[in-house]
Structure 1
Amino acid sequence: MAGGSATKAVKKVLGKTFLRAMGWKPDGAAPEGGGYVLIAAPHTTNWDLPFTLALSFVYDVPIRWMGKHTLFDGPQGAFFKWLGGVPVVRTQRRNMVDQMVDLFDEREGLVLLVPSEGTRSRAPHWKSGFYHIARGADVPVVLGYLDYARKRGGFGPPVELTGDVEKDMDVIREFYADKLGKYPEKFGPVVLREELAAEAATPEPAPDPAADSGASRK
């Protein structure tokens, strides 16, 4: 217990020191308790992870993030685990979503950071892993954010996913509409591939013959 409290205290000091040195401040409060998927956006620079970790230290939110298992080999492995890293193994039999869903069953109160964009460059759509993990584990999605324009970062409200992808994503789109990354031009549309596919599959409405004939008589 004492060791855990000391570690939390050290992390909080480190987080506050880093944010103060960079001119940033935490914004608002963190969600109570754990048991949710955390996404952090916009993601446009390598600086996003240090800011996210610093904020998690200040808020005392023990986030866990996924990393390839080889990243944790050797002496640096303990450090990455201290920062919240969770080694995962990609196999043909068990994909990443399944592994992360199982992790929620194994770890009560887990806060799992899942990259929604998958890249610092502008992407045509978000990765849908966070959505499927949250649905599979039956946990909400919390909207973490970094707003470089205001030098503020924090946690938005938890979103209880309904299974209606467009409806759920509308809530997420509205939240991130006024959040600016370090390089705003690299922040792509807040949309999932499934939404784009559904839109492409929707047939065009048939022309109205009456409207056409009426227009031609004018």
Structure 2
Amino acid sequence: MSQPDHAPSLAPRPRRWAHTLLRLVGWRIDLPPPTAAKVLLIVYPHTSNWDFPLGLLARWACGWPVRWIGKHTIFVGPFNRLLRSWGGIPVNRAATGGFIETLAADIRRRDTLILAMAPEGTRRRLDHWKSGFLRIARAADMQLGLAYIDFATRTIGIRSYMTLSGDDAADMARITEAYQGVVGYHPELASPIRLRPPANAAENKP
């Protein structure tokens, strides 16, 4: 994989202490550098509160200026400013409105961005992934980075980068293949890698 020409805002500033701390607790990182100026990192599986501190340590260890989307309820009181300074962007998934459209418009105005989110949107097991990550990536013309936190091998990494083809079924098949063997803290809570079927799918079946 060729090394990308990093724009100044994507130039990594690794924190050695974070790398050392991860190593001391038995974790390693495997993070090939971004291959595009704008990357949406999807992190799977998301089954435990441990994913958050491990993800932050990996962010500091690699030194990338990763922004991340988090549930608005954690951005409260004194934690609000702190989490935002660590790259957090609060989102209220229950609220109506055009969050995705607003976010995509902001991303389009930027020259560079690495944004991370959990496509499941929750630590609970669902029967599908939420489609927001696809809508953001398409609307903002972002490359996908397939990131993971694997408790079986104690590795935080990125399996690959991919450009969406426009064929959701084909793209989801590639994503499913990439995440084979990755194990969350609570494996039974990992949601299957598939999108919610269209509301009228059952009616259209022969």
Letter in 2 for 1:120: R
Shift of 1:165: 0.6
Shift of 1:76: 3.2
Q: 1:176 aligns with which of 164, 169, 179?
A: 179
2:160 is paired with a residue whose SS is strand
Answer yes or no: is 1:203 the counterpart of 2:205: yes
**Residue 88 (structure 2) aligns with:** 85
The 3 A distance-change label for structure 1 pair 133 and 110 is: same
**Does the 8 Å contact 2:36/2:143 carry over to 1?**
no
Deviates more, 1:130-139 or 1:53-62: 53-62
AA partner of residue 140 (structure 1)? Q
Q: Classify 1:185/1:108 alpha carbon distance in 2 versus 1 (closer, same or farther; 3 Å).
A: same
Q: Highest Rg: 1 or 2?
A: 1
Distance 2:185 2:151 in 1: 5
List per-residue Cα deviations over 1:75-99 (Å, max 9, x = no partner).
Answer: 433311221012457864x422112
Contact 2:72 / 2:92 at 8 angstroms: preserved in 1?
yes
Residue 109 of structure 2 aligns with an amino acid whose one-letter code is E
1:113 aligns with 2:116: yes
Give the structure-1-normalised TM-score. Answer: 0.78
Decide whether the 8 Å contact of 1:30 with 1:59 is kept in 2. no
Partner of 1:147: 150
- Give the aligned CA root-mean-square deviation in angstroms: 2.6
- In the other structure, the counterpart of 1:158 is 161
Q: Where does structure 1 lack aligned partners over 5 or more consecutive residues?
A: 205-218
Q: Deviations over 1:79-137 (max 9, x none)?
A: 11221012457864x42211220121233211111220111121100011000000111
Say whether residues 1:135 and 2:138 are aligned partners: yes
Q: Tell me: CA distance 1:45–1:73, structure 2 relative to 1, closer, same or farther (3 Å).
A: closer
Q: Which runs of 4+ in 1 moved over 6 A?
A: none
Structure 2: which 5+ runs fail to align? 1-8
Task: Give secondary structure in 2 for the equivalent of 1:173.
Answer: helix
- Give 3-state SS (helix, strand or coil) of 2:164's partner: coil
Deviates more, 1:145-154 or 1:59-68: 59-68
Change (3 A) 1:169 1:33: closer
- Structure 2 CA distance, aligned partners of 1:55 and 1:43? 15
Change (3 A) 1:148 1:89: closer
Offset, 1:64: 0.7
Query: Which position in structure 2 is the counterpart of 1:54?
Result: 57
**By percentage of residues, which structure has more helix?**
1
The normalised TM-score by structure 2 is 0.82
Report percent identity of matched pairs: 37
Query: Does structure 1 conserve the Cα–Cα contact (< 8 Å) formed by 2:35 and 2:161?
Result: no
